[in-house]
Structure 1
């Protein structure tokens, strides 16, 4: 509608009809919206009265209660009971989903069918959840929780002794860094670990974006956390964490979320109530737990630098993790942007070779626009990214050490061997370097020093608070005061004000029933609906404009304050060093161990048999691609399954084999390649069979490129088969037993040609 047409609207005879129709519709929507808020409040009160509230869409059975451990915690391990639509394979590795204790209750990883838990069970994996109760055990610490989570993983492993692989652990948001720490201390308990939307490098970000990282410095550090915990009587209310999340997007918090329900009240109510069941499930933390998180992580940023130690002096070094690490983040996440999810790699390693020297495999994938919660809540994300992770977790587990990006393309574009694709997407792990991480944006050295200054100011202010203010606050705060403050928190009031205790809303239930029976929605062509949408957009734009202004002022203030040379000098910041403040230490012992391992691999290059030769050749040719496609791994599985059980290697054995052969090629590619003939058997038939299987795997994703073809011809020569064999069309992979791929007659002919 143009402005001129809108000006003529009042004189049009239909204008009154449009206005009356819209007024009735808006009035009815308002009544129904009030009823939704009433139901939301009732739902909140019901959950608050439950002992172990959760939002799981599946039945679960308790396996181990953390309150019964030697160091009791409010965490528990439960087994997800599959419904009739899932066929669980007891030989597949179990999945363990760990939900974040960041203000909300557990269960978001299994919130609906299309979820992390749902896709794991669809892929046939036994699935568990590590959840928690709303109230902490008095005195429990982050370290106690870590020990309990290790015990839970021990229990899962003991329940699945025949599983091919250790548990795959999914850590959502705050659970991601927690499980990474457990993994660093107990690497033997883990298969691949997936950290979804998890901050690991807390100062990282890009100028003009990611303003949340400035909050600690602008508030003077963690003294405010200590004050909040003291006013809570030793309890930190998770509602403050939820409110911090809400503050990042005032347009959505103050308007869009409610407007979307009101404007689509006939279709959006149930979805809104379903999400609010999780959003309103507020939990508590011990004040000491929250203080540790803020001091050590969000302000101190000690995790990536390896500066965190346990009570017995053990250093938490993420480089000691041996299982593959899958990092899932998003450009649309304003809570954990890609820099905070990935820049720990830059803190720990100098190059990809450094990653390989530590024996680590890191795979990352970045969504274009999904928000923070969508990373582990969105059904679309579950059907795509999480489904691919679950379907291809064994592929990820056997990837050679290095840095990769998981690239997903639609199955419909896979013109070659689509039957080898397990889901609706093809996963391809492409080799990356640290420059690819740097290209996402990172702090410069001056920025690092500013955050270091903010961390030191936090330490000073916390000491001053503890010495001069804390004794008084603790003396005057009674349990009744602390409970009253929690009840009056704005997050809780937003629910309670619409609850049954409000006598002014007693009429809403009956009125809503009457409206539903006499509903008269406005027609879609009513121009007043257009004016409604225009007004909504203007409100959103105004709130966004205000948010961006506040964020710009906050960023400029932070950089001006903590970049002041006088303040940095007073705090003892070393402005002459070219070393970043959070750089992880290097170990001469580790370097010596690496050199010894190199000598061992050099000595083993001429040792082995046909399998070692085939895997080495496979890696040598495939290295030209710079990527690993799931179809190639599916072809390997098909060939492996066709072998007699006595000749099959376990996944762990195959993983070790792949890593050793890959590292030999990294150490001295030419020497490793020239050693291949020494590993081969005399039988030309066995060589032909091995080469044909090798070619099947390499061509499963599609035709080879020029460099890969050249390398394959060289391998054919090394196998003593003649380079022309490399151009022969291979048999369909996985369709016949390995021993029957080549007939004796064909083998004899090949022998004659060679």
Structure 2
């Protein structure tokens, strides 16, 4: 039962005075609120009238127009022009931000100064942006877009021949799974891949949360997607996708977003209009594009299973990706929860050893509370997680294969060797196993059978629609009818009806000007203002409870309907059947792995002091189970200081990986070979050993198992009994 807010009390004269002040303030705020809505409508009309609308806050230079390619698409590649005061090192690896095309317009990756683009440029990297235009090209498909994006990345690589590493590619939301598909098909083009808020395991989740995964089944499958595209004359209106997002949070959609503008009408306009410019820039998709997305991904869940094939028969296998993969997700994201962002790892690999067998490095981090849009929009997230990824991208690139969680510790006065850390945080990558992913929760075998049933029902309903209804619908829909439905979408109408095109809004602008001249905001401790805020909180609470009840009902319906033994039997899902998507290692890959294993074992005794030093460092450092950015920065500085023997980043990465695998394959033999790789000169041996100590001590004191292994290495170097505890200050002097 909802408690009624208490009526403000006090002496009658004081109550009347407060009431009058509040009513004046409330009336003025109402006028200002309406004027902000008018500005929003006018901004919307101006934005959608542009040929290439976007919300990038940076100037850009067009590099490739995808509409002019042999297989044209509505995507473009631009170079971000750094603002004054930002120095770019053209020899550093470029960053490419790929914008999500999920109903709204482009530009979210460079929405403001504190953004993915902003922090990458501040770290000195050249930046490029792959955006899109509102209307898709005729015949455009997801495969054609992937082909175009490959051309874009090739162009960036061509423009930076001296770059120390392949481009780092960032994909937000929809763009995340798109670049994962491309990286599996063209792995040679990619440096580290960062996917933020990107769904990759579409059925994954836990009971009581994340009901969006049930939507396809409760709507009867993707036949409704096909119908919507047919009613749009072969195009799917992205406004429906945006409305889907808004339906996930009715209290914000129906109340909080507008109430915040009303309650803070003097200060909220700029932030609100900035966001609404992007959120209201709805774009279209071709019917073929959205059907692929819904059938193959959201309902079919075929990506991690390797069941998606290109037109030439090539299968999309995420295990083919050779670059490090960084997955950024959040517990507060109800669109792409951690299970959907990370569950593909469980589908692709049996354990961490298999991740290493494919030569993959996967780094993930889970934010505690930020929402889906906050992953790309929040300035706090940009200054922390994205800034650390940008500053430490070389650390990520040279990590030995395996599964890691990125953690962040605030820098402070007591931070050890803080001059070796970039930014306000210290990033470390801590080794994890697949059990850490499983601990986040996931589907039971019964749930998997339910989703498989929903998938097969969807296929049957889509086939029936295409056979019996689609020809009739297509014959009835004219271009004029499709345009009318497009213009009359509820989300577009809410912008149009408050714009200056509405005669009733014309007096609002003049009234707002007068209000600003005579503005009398009420005191924050006014009891009627407090009463207003309490009422607002109760409205939010009521809408949240209504949402929770609807979500619980939708989950119960899905579980009951698709858990029905009769329905499962009708569509061919056997009781107790295993719907696991995990695949065994491909025989060809196993042959390559065996050959590579034999090659590495044969090279254990080969090399020199460099191989010996890296091997010893990996052996001792692995006792910590993590890699700290300070250790890698110390190693980088040593590498750059030694110009005569300097390796490129790719060469250094290969060296680290080879020595890591040698230790993994035969640790005893690899360690016993170290003395044969070292020079005769004891001074040189002491120099290399001191470097190992310096790297190890840069992030933490040498103790415990690390100290024990270091002593063992000292013996291999012939220095046992001749070493003293490493003192960085003494070395620096």
TM-score relative to the length of structure 1? 0.95
Q: Which residue of the partner structure matches residue 275 of structure 2?
A: 275
Aligned-partner Cα distance in 2 for 1:583–1:140 = 31
Distance 2:24 2:7 in 1: 23
Query: Once the 2 structures are TM-superposed, how far is the Cα of residue 504 of structure 1 from its aligned partner?
Result: 1.4
C-alpha distance in 1, partners of 2:8/2:43? 47
Alpha-carbon spacing, 1:524–1:7, altered in 2? closer, same or farther (3 Å): closer
Query: Alpha carbons of 1:726 and 1:442: their partners in 2 closer, same or farther (altered >3 Å)?
Result: farther
**1:99 equivalenced with 2:99 (yes/no):** yes
The equivalent residue for 1:601 is 600
Counterpart for residue 289 of structure 2: 289
Work out which of the residue numbers 664, 669, 672 in structure 2 matches 1:671: 669
Between the two proteins, the alignment pairs up a number of residues equal to 731
CA distance in 2, matches of 1:728, 1:353: 34
Q: Which residue of 1 aligns with 2:725?
A: 727
Give 1:664 shift. 1.0
SS at match of 2:179: helix
Task: Indicate the residue corresponding to 2:307 in structure 1.
Answer: 307
Deviates more, 1:404-413 or 1:220-229: 404-413
Match of 2:638 in 1: 639
Whole-angstrom CA distance in 1 between matches of 2:713 and 2:226: 65
Q: Distance in 1 between matches of 2:476 and 2:584?
A: 45
Q: Does 1:456 align with 2:452?
A: no
1:420 aligns with 2:420: yes
Q: Which residue of 2 is the match for residue 239 of structure 1? A: 239
Deviation at 1:8, TM superposition (A): 7.5
Q: Matches of 2:730 and 2:699 in 1, distance apart? A: 12
Q: 1:548 to 1:685 in 2, by over 3 A?
A: same
Whole-angstrom CA distance in 1 between matches of 2:730 and 2:231: 69
Separation in structure 1 between the aligned mates of residue 194 and residue 5 of structure 2, nearest angstrom: 55
Within the alignment, does 1:584 sit opposite 2:583 as a pair?
yes
Q: C-alpha distance in 1, partners of 2:116/2:473?
A: 43
Partners of 2:420 and 2:426 lie apart in 1 by 9
Structure 2 Cα separation of the partners of residues 170 and 576 of structure 1 = 40
Whether the aligned pair in 1 keeps the contact of 2:6 and 2:531 (CA below 8 Å) is no
After TM superposition, give the deviation of residue 526 of structure 1 in Å.
0.5
> By how many angstroms is 1:478 displaced?
0.3
Q: 1:13 to 1:478 in 2, by over 3 A?
A: same
Q: 1:461 to 1:85 in 2, by over 3 A?
A: same
**Match runs of 1:6-405 below 5 Å:** 9=9, 12-405=12-405
Structure 1 unmatched ranges of 5 or more: 737-754
> Please, which moves more after superposition, 453-462 or 719-728?
719-728
Q: Which residue of structure 2 lines up, in the alignment, with residue 744 of structure 1?
A: none
**Distance in 2 of aligned mates of 1:669 and 1:264:** 64
2:705 to 704, 707, 726: 707
Contact 1:716–1:726, Cα closer than 8 Å, also in 2: no
Query: In the TM superposition, what whole-angstrom CA distance separates every residue of 1:485-505 from its partner, at most 9, and x where no partner exists?
Result: 011101101100111221111
Aligned partner of residue 725 in structure 1, secondary structure: coil
Contact 1:395 1:633 in 2 (8 A): yes
Deviations 1:45-73 (A, max 9, x none): 00111000000000001000001111000
Contact 1:695/1:730, CA 8 A, preserved across alignment = no
Post-superposition Cα deviations, 1:506-553, rounded to whole Å, max 9, x if no partner, equal 110100000000101111111001110110011001100100000001
Residues 95 and 477 (structure 1 numbering): CA distance in 2 closer, same or farther, change over 3 Å?
same
Change (3 A) 1:566 1:137: same
Query: Residue 723 of structure 1: CA displacement?
Result: 4.5
- Mapped contact 2:92–2:124 kept (Cα < 8 A): yes
Please state whether the residue corresponding to 2:268 is helix, strand or coil.
helix
2:616: which partner in 1?
A: 617
How far is the alpha carbon of 1:436 from its aligned partner?
0.2
RMSD across aligned C-alpha pairs, in angstroms?
A: 1.4
Residues 478, 706 of structure 1: alpha-carbon distance in 2 compared, 3 angstrom cutoff: same
The answer to whether the Cα contact below 8 Å between 1:304 and 1:348 also exists between their aligned partners in 2 is: yes
Deviation, 1:375, is: 0.3
Is residue 662 from structure 1 mapped to residue 660 from structure 2 by the alignment? yes
Gap runs ≥5 in structure 2: none
TM-score by length of 2: 0.98
